[in-house]
Amino acid sequence: MKRGTLMGKKPATEPASAAEAPAEPVAPSAPTQARPAKAKTREGKRNVTAFVDEAAHRQLRMLAATEDAAMQDLFVEALNLLFENRGLSRIA
């Protein structure tokens, strides 16, 4: 028996007979639960993203590991130093 190809024609399907009763409409399921509320530590804060070289990212990760600190904490420290150097408040 010859095998069909993946890209070959599909066999013709027979049209549904008119004698068949239409299917019952499916009731919509309950709405999905909304996203959980933000963590308390994130309330009132916004996400800031930066693209850096692979070497800079690696160095930041290593510094965070060496100092047993989160990369985010180091990033906030860097922002505050930038603000201070520009004569602005350290508010990050």
* pLDDT tens-digit readout, 51-78: 999 999 999 999 999 999 999 999 999 9
- What is the average per-residue pLDDT within 10-35? 67
Question: Any idea of the CA torsion for 78, 80, 82, 83, to the nearest 10 degrees?
Answer: 170
Q: What is the pTM of this model?
A: 0.56
Element (H, E) at 54: helix 54-66
Flag whether pLDDT at 80 surpasses 60. yes
3-state DSSP: the chain helix, strand, coil percent, rounded to 5? 35, 0, 65
- 20 pLDDT tier (thresholds 50, 70, 90): low
66 phi-psi bin (left φ>0, alpha ψ -120 to 50, beta other): alpha
